[in-house]
Amino acid sequence: MAYPAAPFPRITGLPRRFYAPVGVIVGATVLGLSLTPLTDAFVARLLLFYAGTALAYGLMPFVRRGDVPLVAAWVVLLSELSPCIVGQLISPVKVTADVLGVLMAAGPIYLARLRQVMQGDTRPSARRASELGSR
């Protein structure tokens, strides 16, 4: 029995041509805020990286799920290495907060995919064939 479509409006996210500039803006904003004294506390830093990662996933729904945490890892690296230029040491507490924030946002996406695979929802290898033809 097929169920009727939900009467909710379709939310599509940003057009793909805006993904790179939006990604740069989100990454630069998170990096800039991570270098301010506002995010010295563990929870503030964790929430900053969680919000930045979740925002990236929300604004760019057609990006592969692994690309957002990969870019977030670079932002974490830059946020920890930037203070080294002026002689500060890398803080293990800040690194932990950064990584946990990214994992808290990305984890449920990977968990949802794991559930799909466990339920047998696997697609053929040519599932991105439509993307290959549009290049």
Q: Give one DSSP letter per residue of 27-91, joined into a string.
A: HHHHHHHHTSGGG-SHHHHHHHHHHHHHHHHHH-TTS-TTHHHHHHHHHHHHHHHGGGGGTPPPP
Digitized pLDDT (tens) for each residue of the chain, 135 residues in all: 666 666 766 667 788 899 999 999 999 999 999 999 999 999 999 999 999 999 999 999 888 989 999 999 999 999 999 999 988 899 999 999 999 999 999 999 999 989 988 998 887 766 555 555 554
Please give the model's pTM, rounded to 2 decimal places: 0.80
% of the chain at pLDDT higher than 90: 62
